[in-house]
Structure 1
């Protein structure tokens, strides 16, 4: 086995188990989510130690025009063309004792990945799809609320190829997509599927390595997403990145097993906004995330079931404070969406924008009230 095979299939660093948490009830009642930024070495052994196959050469034929049926040969050539074009822009990231993936943003060595991939680390080892040696990189900034981060290579190699990003707002159900990354530590792996749904609001939880992010407008896909795929690329047949694979659903009835064909990717529109700010400014200066300007906690009602969000503090000058909401009030609904827990409030706000006007229902001393609130920003 050569040096590259040894690196891919040999003993992997000890890695943490991905976190498991509740998937937004807006998406899928009873399911759970798993950030996919790290792999267990023992899992790889179950698959044997056969070498990673070489990528097939792309055909020379041009992709058919939109709306024209593809023959099986044409579709295969499309796949091979996209893989040849995009895979050099997808890297493997070693963050301490865990592994994940990333996408090259520019020739200066900026790479975007998930915040849960970088974790608390500030220095990394990055391996390109065509490289034999690990390259050193440093953290530029991490933004856990959107589970995104940017690292920069200390010495970008010559010919480093930046990925092209598509418009995730135009992504449609049924669209064919490819997921590229390093699942289970297997660098330069590709899986295929379709866009199963768009506009999902998903919470990943904060235990076991998750950031606790609640992310709106995620792309749901049937392409296999496994530990190590986090931070990689979800790509359309035009060779454009439409999302970053981040979460895989798990079925409680299967124990720790993932639910086949249910994965989620952060949309490219969000990636470009957040990563772009980090590259330009070294940090996120405009999150685009709506906020009420409160700290709160879940309150229990009859039968000890969650029944609302108690306002612990309402920041002076914040959105809620300006609308007359005060500490001690119990929030029960936002624009008609029932609020039972602090998580449900986060999910309700995830799809809104700063400056948007919403109606908040709440109780004060047992009396119902309503307020029109102009949302602020986190």
Structure 2
């Protein structure tokens, strides 16, 4: 067989589909190599060799299609297996998620917006514009895929960001979907929308549509300060009227956003392939206030920035007394980062700012004269512009307070067993022994969040006193006693205090009340101690009011480059003239910070509770750092004794 015959045979094999182009080329290359290697052989030998080589090539060519077919079949089988497995997983995810999707209707069963349950107690999220017509009574119904309607109560609302929280009742336990990390969402990710478009399902089974994420960190204008989508996820998933308030889910079934807005065709209200969902991470910052039944408002620095070519985003306008001004920022300063996010432009700053609540503590890094500076300030709330006031339901707020305190008690190891014993016996003897170290501030200031530039809790001139102290108290009694041996903070060696006042007795038994700014610190400390003995939990948080959320910032907060932990903020009046802010970690439940402010003077003291560790029956801070304008006092725990008594 000559070269022409061999080539013809190969071409015929290729035409019949027995060989691929690649296989044909491999055979030809093998034949050519064989031919080149035998040029020096005698003609007859070369002819025989060529014949043998051609025959081998044909045999090899005949074998390759069978091998290729076998490999292709294996590849197809594996591809089908993977596809079917992915399909089964997607169906399972959607099946679980569908049980959490709510059809929101009013008391007359009218409406058809959507929502999603996010915890087993029936708490859920939707759009504000879905429940706006329920605000008169704050009552409606939520339909689930079991075909039943459940009583629905509107709790807190976020008019600015178009979010609301509700609670379903009528079941001991509800199926729920968790919130995911929307900052991890990328263009091209799977996006599953679920809801009740056009009221298609009378049995409340949600409609499911599937698409991909087509944009992240989009900004959509609202109406004034209302219904602004500052940091939304854009998708091509079909979202139509009635989907509002329903979940946008990842392939894992996590809620990455709340659907709320679409771009529509000029001829009618139907989707044209562009939908928007409010990001889950934005919602997380507002959830403590929403759960507590508050009208939550978005925050502002009360300052604007402008893009200046070659220089970046510069502050250009602010008023005297604005949060930015109070933080030391001035017009002309360059904005470097806000809340840990590097700022690229004016629009980027506006988009990011809109995702934080009013009253939120943020870190701002700015540059002046080539030097970077860092400031911590509290955002000013923006008015929602509602026509009618939104009154807080005390019952809803008290429920949120109780949930926060019970979560703390579980984290600190003082509940439920200990609190049940305290409630039953009415008494417990508690002793906290600590090493007291005092340092004076060298700049005369210790504003909240700015204390502790040095490692020991403050910018100081060195230790000025060390003492051993004990705090002794009983859960059934209002008074507690501090006893001090050594220099320490100085002053009386024994102080008696409660939530109203603090005093000491001289050798003749004469009482001397401490000044108001000192008494308020002891009052806050007395509340703190009662949290650890469980009595505040059994009292269901009497005296506390839930005031929303904050961020744990400042020297004591963890610094790992991530968003600072979100805090529940509970307010309580102490000493008759001061307000104490108790801040509890949303994720872990621990009490992290107490800020006490004297109302007449504005004087402020900050308690930072650090490094919780097992201390006998409870998990107690290794250190409590008390910072004021004059000094930083650090209490390092030596021993904690908590004994129930009959």
How does the TM-score come out when normalised to structure 1? 0.59
**What residue in structure 2 maps to residue 164 of structure 1?**
178
SS at structure 2 position matched to 1:354: strand
Distance in 2, matches of 1:69 and 1:270, equals 39
SS at structure 2 position matched to 1:356: strand
Within the alignment, does 1:93 sit opposite 2:115 as a pair? no
Gaps of 5+ in 1: 1-67, 297-308, 361-370
Q: Could you report, residue by residue, the CA deviation over 1:67-124 in whole angstroms, capped at 9, with x for unpaired residues?
A: x997543343233211211101010112576431111122222111112222253324
Aligned residues: 275
Please point out which of 194, 197, 205 is paired with 1:180: 194
**What residue in structure 2 maps to residue 110 of structure 1?**
123
Q: Could you report, residue by residue, the CA deviation over 1:255-307 in whole angstroms, capped at 9, with x for unpaired residues?
A: 5555622112122222333224432x44377x7x652225x9xxxxxxxxxxx
Please point out which of 132, 138, 147 is paired with 2:147: 132
SS at structure 2 position matched to 1:278: helix
**What residue in structure 1 maps to residue 230 of structure 2?**
215
SS at structure 1 position matched to 2:244: coil
Distance in 2, matches of 1:357 and 1:185, equals 49
Distance in 1, matches of 2:264 and 2:178, equals 31
Distance in 2, matches of 1:152 and 1:78, equals 29
Residues 148, 274 of structure 1: 8 Å contact kept = no
Offset of 1:354 from its aligned partner?
2.6
Within the alignment, does 1:291 sit opposite 2:300 as a pair? yes
Within the alignment, does 1:205 sit opposite 2:205 as a pair? no
* Mapping 1:269-348, distance limit 5 Å: 269-279=281-291, 281-283=292-294, 291-293=300-302, 314=319, 316-320=321-325, 323=328, 346-347=350-351
Residues 206, 212 of structure 1: 8 Å contact kept = yes
* Mapping 1:227-246, distance limit 5 Å: 227-246=241-260
Residues 178, 223 of structure 1: 8 Å contact kept = yes
Distance in 2, matches of 1:373 and 1:98, equals 49
Q: Aligned pair in 2 of structure 1 residues 80, 338: CA closer, same or farther (>3 Å)?
A: closer
Residues 127, 163 of structure 2: 8 Å contact kept = yes
Offset of 1:204 from its aligned partner?
3.9
Please point out which of 153, 159, 167 is paired with 1:144: 159
Q: Aligned pair in 2 of structure 1 residues 268, 337: CA closer, same or farther (>3 Å)?
A: closer
How does the TM-score come out when normalised to structure 2? 0.37
Please point out which of 263, 269, 273 is paired with 1:261: 273
Please point out which of 48, 69, 74 is paired with 2:85: 74
Distance in 1, matches of 2:320 and 2:81, equals 57
Distance in 2, matches of 1:230 and 1:79, equals 23
Distance in 2, matches of 1:271 and 1:241, equals 11
Within the alignment, does 1:247 sit opposite 2:261 as a pair? yes
Q: Could you report, residue by residue, the CA deviation over 1:167-223 in whole angstroms, capped at 9, with x for unpaired residues?
A: 22222221222100111223411100011122x23224228xx9332422x222111
Offset of 1:150 from its aligned partner?
0.7
Q: Aligned pair in 2 of structure 1 residues 357, 80: CA closer, same or farther (>3 Å)?
A: same
Please point out which of 209, 214, 217 is paired with 1:196: 214
Residues 181, 256 of structure 2: 8 Å contact kept = yes
Q: Aligned pair in 2 of structure 1 residues 69, 356: CA closer, same or farther (>3 Å)?
A: farther
Q: Aligned pair in 2 of structure 1 residues 351, 357: CA closer, same or farther (>3 Å)?
A: farther
Gaps of 5+ in 2: 1-78, 305-314, 337-342, 381-646
Distance in 2, matches of 1:70 and 1:91, equals 34
In terms of fraction of residues, the more helix-rich structure is: 2
SS at structure 1 position matched to 2:362: coil
Q: Aligned pair in 2 of structure 1 residues 116, 159: CA closer, same or farther (>3 Å)?
A: same
- Which has more radius of gyration? 2
